[in-house]
Amino acid sequence: MLKLLFVSTSVGPLGTGLGGGVELSLYNIAQEMRRRGHQVQIVAPKGSYFESLPDIVQIPGELQIIAQSQERGDPVVIPGDSVLANMWEYARQVQAEYDLIVNFAYDWLPFYLTPFFSRPIAHFVSMGSLYDAMDRIIKQTADRFFGTIGFYTASQAQTFALNYECPCLGSGIDLSLYEFCAQPQKCLAWLGRIAPEKGLEDAVAAANMTHIPLKIMGKIQDEAYWKQVCAAYPDAPIEYLGFLSTSEMQQQLRQCQALLMTPRWVEAFGNVAIEALACGVPVISYRRGGPAEIVQDGKTGFLVEPDSVMGLVNAITRIKEIDRYTCRQQAETEFSLTALGDRFEKWFRDILVRSEG
Ligand code: HBI
């Protein structure tokens, strides 16, 4: 039985959607580790709440600015009363009670602190390369603590140009929460944090051209960007449904002919892709980053030329070629909580073996 301390992302309380896909990953991994009999304690910003994971240690303090807003050459920014620093001060105090600490924040500090801790730290990196200070500290930590840096996908890991293979853990979801739907309505879905790097405007443009209604779900992280997209396509058949619970979200998603994924950046994974597959919904995505490693082109969706709205439109017209049950089967084979738990448990044990060695 492992005693694990999970230290959360620093950009928002868990459960608010501000932490994007890594919130769902942290929740699923914690749940699966507990199911396997391991002890998991989560440390997160005050206001965090997960339905079936009570007793999250709530830490006060100012949130980190999102790493996506950093320019490549920017210095590391840590606010005075930093929730990130406060979470890691807590981890320092209690570390002796745990076998392994797992970091889910995409921030410089936890990597820098690694050598100061007596317990090993597993760093789960949740995005591709964004700025130099982060690339540097990740590379230093990878070199010094071999095997302790984990990624979602190979294409994401490649953006850091490390000299060796690193564990690629993928993702996974509780498939019992997603209901297969064989007969969709005439509508499309777009899911995710509403922010420039997610390229929502292309999905709206495709809806505008095909006149197929587009259901949009997710946290509006960048209000100005959202207003810009709506203003650019005033007549587009779009409907914003908000940031919904998994249960409400999949009720909407499962009815759709396809999920559109329009990442502008190297999407580290794209949890929304496996949520769609679990409902039997094919995924139409730019051939970029995580989704390009998830979607089986022509079988469980289509991969199109990045940033090509016409590519999205052509794929939408072909969507009936995809067998929706094949989509569900791929989710069951590759992205179940059991498969996820196996990958993470192996990673944790490999780190512990090396650290005792
Ligand atoms: N930015 N500074 C910072 N720290 C994070 O942990 C972080 C972030 N931006 C986005 C983010 N985490 C998550 O939404 C993604 O990792 C999924």
| pLDDT for the residue numbered 87 | 98
The atom of ligand 1 lying closest to the CA of 9 is 6
Q: Give the model confidence (pLDDT) of 138-194 as tens digits.
A: 999 999 999 999 999 999 999 999 988 899 999 999 999 999 999 999 999 999 999
Is there a single domain that holds both residue 35 and residue 153?
A: yes
pLDDT averaged over the chain?
96
Tell me, yes or no, whether 73 and 201 share the same domain: no
Cα 26 to ligand 1 centre (Å) = 12
Q: Is 11 in the pocket of ligand 1 (CB under 6 A)?
A: yes
Shortest-distance atom of ligand 1 to CA 66: 1
**Nearest Cα residue to atom 9 of ligand 1:** 66
One domain, residues 189 and 128: no
Same domain membership, residue 146 and residue 41 = yes
Residues pairing with 31 in the sheet: none
* Residue keyed to tokens 């989704």: 291
Residue 184 CA to ligand 1 centre (angstroms): 33
Cβ of 21 below 6 Å from ligand 1 = yes
Same domain, 188 and 219: yes
- The answer, yes or no, to whether any atom of ligand 1 lies below 6 A from the CB of 200, is no
Can you give the pLDDT at residue 21? Answer: 83
Say yes or no: CB of residue 45 within 6 Å of ligand 1: no
Tell me the two tokens of residue 37: 């009999």
Average pLDDT over residues 270-288: 97
Torsion region of 8: left, alpha or beta (phi above 0 gives left; psi -120 to 50 gives alpha): beta
CA of 67 to the centre of ligand 1 (A): 6
- The protein residue with its alpha carbon nearest to ligand 1, atom 13, reads 19
One domain for residues 189 and 264: yes
Q: Does ligand 1 lie within 6 Å of residue 14's CB atom?
A: no
Q: What is the distance between the alpha carbons of residues 157 and 128, in angstroms, rounded to a whole number? A: 7
Question: Ligand 1: distance of its center to the CA of 68 in Å?
Answer: 8
Give the mean model confidence (pLDDT) for residues 314-337: 97
CA 208 to ligand 1 center in whole angstroms: 31
Backbone φ and ψ for 195, nearest 5 degrees, come out as -155, 155
Tell me the β-bridge partners of 45: 59
pLDDT > 80? residue 203: yes
Residue 97's pLDDT is what?
98
Centroid of ligand 1 to alpha carbon of 105 (angstroms): 6
Res. 90: pLDDT tops 90: yes
Tell how many helices (H) and how many strands (E) occur in the chain. 13, 12
The domain containing residue 251 runs over which residues?
175-334
**Amino acid present at 175:** L
CB of 171 sitting under 6 A from ligand 1: no
User: Residue 329 pLDDT > 90, yes or no?
Assistant: yes
Ligand 1 center to residue 259 CA distance, Å? 23
229 burial level (CB within 10 Å; 0-12, 13-18, 19+) = buried
CB-ligand 1 contact for 106 (6 Å cutoff): yes
pLDDT value at residue 16:
86
185 and 323, same domain (yes or no): yes
Say which DSSP state 219 is in.
-
Per-residue pLDDT at 356: 86
Q: Establish whether residue 107 lines the binding site of ligand 1, counting it when its CB lies within 6 angstroms of any ligand atom.
A: yes
- 155-171 per-position pLDDT tens digit: 999 999 998 889 999 99
**Secondary structure letter of residue 66 according to DSSP:** P
Tokens of 284: 């139409």
Could you identify the atom of ligand 1 that is nearest to the CA of residue 127?
16
Q: Work out which ligand 1 atom sits closest to the CA atom of 10.
A: 6
Same domain, residue pair 291 and 268 = yes
The CB of 156 under 6 Å from ligand 1? The reply is no
Residue 20: the pLDDT is 80
Model pLDDT, residue 308: 98
Number of domains in the chain: 2
Q: Is 254 found in the same domain as 127?
A: no
67 Cβ inside 6 Å of ligand 1: yes
Tens of pLDDT along 288-299? Answer: 999 999 999 999
pLDDT digits (tens, 9 = 90+) for 25-73: 999 999 999 999 999 999 999 999 988 888 999 999 999 999 999 999 9
Query: Are residues 81 and 105 both part of a single domain?
Result: yes
Same domain, 179 and 209: yes
On whether both 242 and 155 belong to a single domain, the answer is: no
Query: Is pLDDT above 80 for 357?
Result: no
Atom of ligand 1 nearest to the CA of 21: 17
Domain harbouring 60, CATH code = 3.40.50.2000
